[in-house]
Amino acid sequence: MSEVRFSIFKDEHYIDLTIMQYGFEQCKPLHSFGPYVRNNYLFHYVVSGKGTLRANDEKDKMQEYSLEGGSGFIIEPGYVNTYMADEKEPWTYMWIEFAGLRARECVEAMGVSQLHPVYVPDTKEHGKEIEEKLRHFVFSEDHSSMALIGQFYLLLDRMIQYSSTRRAPQDGKLSEFYAKEAIRYIETHYKEDVTVEDIAKNCQLERSYFGKIFKGVIGQSPQEFLVHYRMAKAAALLTTSDRQISEIGALVGYPNALHFSRAFKRVYQISPREYRQIHRIMQ
């Protein structure tokens, strides 16, 4: 018998690190997810049982990794991944999906990546501590957004400190400054007919160079980030207001309702109407 717990983090105020969704699942034998491409970082920690991760590398060649309780794996945005529970000893895992300016930096500090996706704590005791902190986070009840973000920072700190492949953190770079400036501009102008050229001009950078350094810091192109930012704002309005869907689209920079619905479905895999129905039921 499977058990699933799933939660979405709805507060979009956090830029350095933000949570997208998190949960727990006791999987059935051969339960699988994928092949799928994520838009954000997704970390799974295996509590018990066994399973397999299949992940494409930079040359689009599939690699296979076997995992068991006491280890985890990272999925980076933009790569095809599939993971499956073992037939005889299906795994139980917890997960957290996250993004933000510091997301890549934290993942790199753990010493994991799409090319080396398996996370192993340096000791069993430290693995148990990570499991306990993640469990406390996933099963939190009635915590504020700030409390959850605080827990997430502490969890990431332990994951970095206890990683058997931990790397020393690097000092901030000028590219991060430009990425922050771009995000500030997007926060202010996302309702308008803003383009990547507008954002690059605000940062006083040439468009192609700006796009390169932005993706290097954030892990997404400026256009991808803009679309996801707008859709996150739209998702919040869908669940917290009674506005018409076409009106919500216009409020996040999509005066054409059809274009808005298509963009929303590309991000969330369901229509705005379906999203509103599902999350109203969950409230």
Identify which has the larger pLDDT, 141 or 171: 141
Q: Report the predicted TM-score, pTM, of the whole model to 2 decimal places.
A: 0.62
What pLDDT was estimated at residue 147?
Answer: 86
What pLDDT was estimated at residue 3?
Answer: 64
CATH number for the domain that contains residue 74: 2.60.120.280
- Residue 166 above 90 pLDDT? no
Q: Are the CB atoms for 153 and 17 separated by under 8 Å?
A: yes
Q: What are 191-226's pLDDT values in tens digits?
A: 999 999 999 998 888 899 899 989 888 888 999 999
**In a shared domain, residues 130 and 7:** yes
**In a shared domain, residues 105 and 188:** no
**In a shared domain, residues 76 and 8:** yes
Structure tokens at 81: 């991944």
What pLDDT was estimated at residue 11?
Answer: 47
Report if residue 255 sits inside a domain: yes
Distances (CA, A) of 47 to 27, 129, 164, 246, 267: 11, 12, 18, 44, 29
**In a shared domain, residues 65 and 186:** no
Torsion of CA 14, 17, 18, 22, to 10 degrees: -160
Q: Which of 161, 192, 217 is the last residue of a domain?
A: 161
Q: What are 231-259's pLDDT values in tens digits?
A: 999 998 998 888 999 999 999 999 999 99
Report if residue 168 sits inside a domain: no
**In a shared domain, residues 34 and 128:** yes
Report if residue 42 sits inside a domain: yes
**In a shared domain, residues 195 and 235:** yes
What pLDDT was estimated at residue 7?
Answer: 58
**Phi and psi angles of residue 183, each rounded to the nearest 5 degrees, phi first:** -70, -40
| For range 144-148, the mean pLDDT | 83
Cα–Cα distance for residue pair 270/276, rounded to 1 Å: 10
**In a shared domain, residues 30 and 139:** yes
Report if residue 166 sits inside a domain: no
- Mean pLDDT taken over the chain: 87
**Domain span including residue 229:** 174-282
Distances (CA, A) of 269 to 36, 43, 262, 266, 274: 12, 20, 10, 6, 10
Report if residue 60 sits inside a domain: yes
R_g over Cα of the chain = 19
Domain count, the chain: 2
What pLDDT was estimated at residue 6?
Answer: 52
